[in-house]
Amino acid sequence: MVKIEDYAPIVGEGTVEAIREMAEIIRGERAVHVNATSYGGGVAEILSRMIPLARSLGIDVTWQTLKGDIDFFKVTKKMHNALQGDLGTAISDEEFAHYLKVNAENAALLELDSDVVVIHDPQPLPLVRQRGRGKWAWRCHIDTSTPNEAVWSRLDPMVRMYDLAIFSMERYIPKGLAIPSIIDYPTIDPLSPKNAPMKPEDVTKVLERYGVDPDRPLIGQVARFDPWKDPLGAIDVFRRVKSAVPGIQLAMIGSFARDDPEGAEWYERVLRYAGREKDIFVLSNLDGVGDLEVNAFQRAFSVAIQLSKREGFGLTVTEALWKGVPVVAKRAGGIPLQVIDGTTGFLTEGLEDAAERVALLLRRSWLARELGERGRQHVRLNFLITKGLSNYLRMHIELVGKMG
C-alpha cells in the first residue's frame, strides 16, 4: 500500500508533514464518500487513490457506490448533459420519480452515519434527504456554469440541504446558490499504475501489442466516448495533420463506465468515422486497455490532444502533462487552468487551428520537449494527490469546527 511518506521525494517533506498534522486533528472521526460507480471516469479514479491514502494516515474514511438499474443511469446521464448546458434535455416526472426512488432505496443500504458525508455529482444527490447527524458536502465535478434551468430547478432544493458545495472552478457555481461553496481542483496520483514511471522497453511492448509502430509519431486523445469530448473532431484533426506530417498515427483511448449508457453508441460512431484507416487505433478497456496501457500510450504520445466542447476539469490533460507531453486542447472547462497557452501546450478555438498546432509540435521536437517539461512542473505544483488530500482534510476540519 502506498503511504504518505512515499510522496516526499516528489512534493517535499514539508508538504508531507503538514498533511500528517492535519490528519491527526480529525483522528477518531468518521467520513464517507459516495459516488455512482467504482470504475470508469475521473471521480472513481480520484477516490480509488485518495481513500486508501487517507486511511493510511489513520483516518476512518470509507467509499461507497450506488446500486441502480439502466433507467436510473439513463436519467442521471441526461442530468449530466443538462447541467453542462444541453438546453434540449427534458426530464419527465416519471423519470425524476424513479431517480428519487433509487436513491431512497440506496439510503437504506448505505452506511451514512458519519461525521462528514461527501456526495459526488448528481447521481447520489438526493441521499441528503435521509441525512443524519453529520455534516454533508456536495462535490460537483462537472461544468455547471450554464445549466439547463428546468433541470437545475429540480435539483436545487436538494442542494440547499447540504452544508457545503464544492466545485472545480468559480464560474461553475450556479447563480443564487444558497449554501457556502469552495473551489477544489481534481488531482492525480503520480504513483498510481496510470502515472508511475515506466521503462521505455515496457512502453514499446504495449504499443506493439496493439499494432502501433513505436518508430513513428503518435498523437492521441484519452477520453470517454462521449459527444462532449468530440472524438470525431479528434479524428478530423488527425486527418488534417497527416496531410502535413505523413506517417503519424492516432490513438483514441476510452473506457466504458456503468453510469454512462451513451458510451457504447458513441464508441460505434467513432469506429464508423475512423473507417478502415490503418493508422487510427480505437481502443478501450474491452480491448484490455487498463491503467498500465494508458500510461504507456500517454508516454508514447508526441502530442496529446483534448478537443472537449465541455469539460469539468480534464484529468487526462493532467496525466499527459505529468508525463512531459505537451497538450493541444480546446478552451473548455478546467483545461485552461492546465494548458497555459504557449507555455505547457496550446489552446485552440477550432479544428483547423488545433491541427496547425499539432503539426508545429511534431515538426519542432525541441519545442514539444520544452512545453512538456513546463507542463510537468505545473502539475507537480498544483494538481497532485497530496494537494487534493490537503484540501480534503482542511474541508473536513472546517466542517466539524476544529480549526483554530
Q: What is the DSSP string of 43-81?
A: HHHHHHHHHHHHHHTT-EEEEEE----HHHHHHHHHHHH
In a domain, 259, yes or no: yes
Name which of 205, 163, 168 is nearest 300 in CA terms. 205
Same domain (yes/no): 43, 146? yes
Name which of 368, 367, 328, 356 is nearest 244 in CA terms. 356
Domain with 37 in it: 4-187+384-399
Same domain (yes/no): 298, 317? yes
Same domain (yes/no): 124, 164? yes
pLDDT at site 404: 38
Name which of 367, 371, 357 is nearest 324 in CA terms. 371
Cβ-in-10-Å burial (0-12, 13-18, 19+) of 175 comes to: exposed
In a domain, 192, yes or no: no
Same domain (yes/no): 374, 388? no
Name the 3-class secondary structure at 22. Answer: helix
Same domain (yes/no): 103, 235? no
Per-residue pLDDT of the chain (404 residues; tens, 9 = 90+): 789 999 999 999 999 999 999 999 998 899 999 999 887 678 888 999 999 999 999 999 999 999 999 999 999 999 999 998 888 889 999 999 999 999 999 999 999 999 999 999 999 999 999 888 899 999 999 999 999 999 999 999 999 999 999 999 999 999 889 899 999 999 999 999 999 999 999 999 999 999 999 999 999 999 989 888 999 999 999 999 999 999 999 999 998 766 666 778 889 999 999 998 999 999 998 899 999 999 999 999 999 999 999 888 899 999 999 999 999 999 988 999 999 999 999 999 899 999 999 999 999 999 999 999 999 999 999 999 999 999 999 999 999 875 43
Same domain (yes/no): 166, 259? no
Same domain (yes/no): 207, 217? yes
Residue partners of 47: CB distance under 8 A and separation at least 6: 33, 35, 63, 120
Same domain (yes/no): 140, 49? yes
pTM comes to 0.90
In a domain, 194, yes or no: no
pLDDT at site 259: 60
CATH of the domain at 134: 3.40.50.2000
Same domain (yes/no): 273, 302? yes
Pairing of strands 303-306, 327-330: parallel
Residue pair 387/187 in contact by the 8 Å Cβ criterion? yes
In a domain, 290, yes or no: yes
Q: What are phi and psi of 346, to 5 degrees?
A: -135, 135
Same domain (yes/no): 96, 242? no
pLDDT at site 342: 96
Residue entry with cell 443524519:
132
Residue entry with cell 468530440:
230
Same domain (yes/no): 392, 317? no
Q: What is the DSSP string of 209-244?
A: HTT--TTS-EEEEE--S-GGG-HHHHHHHHHHHHHH
In a domain, 195, yes or no: no
Report how many domains make up the chain: 2
CA 298 to chain CA mean position, Å: 15
In a domain, 193, yes or no: no
Same domain (yes/no): 117, 209? no
In a domain, 404, yes or no: no
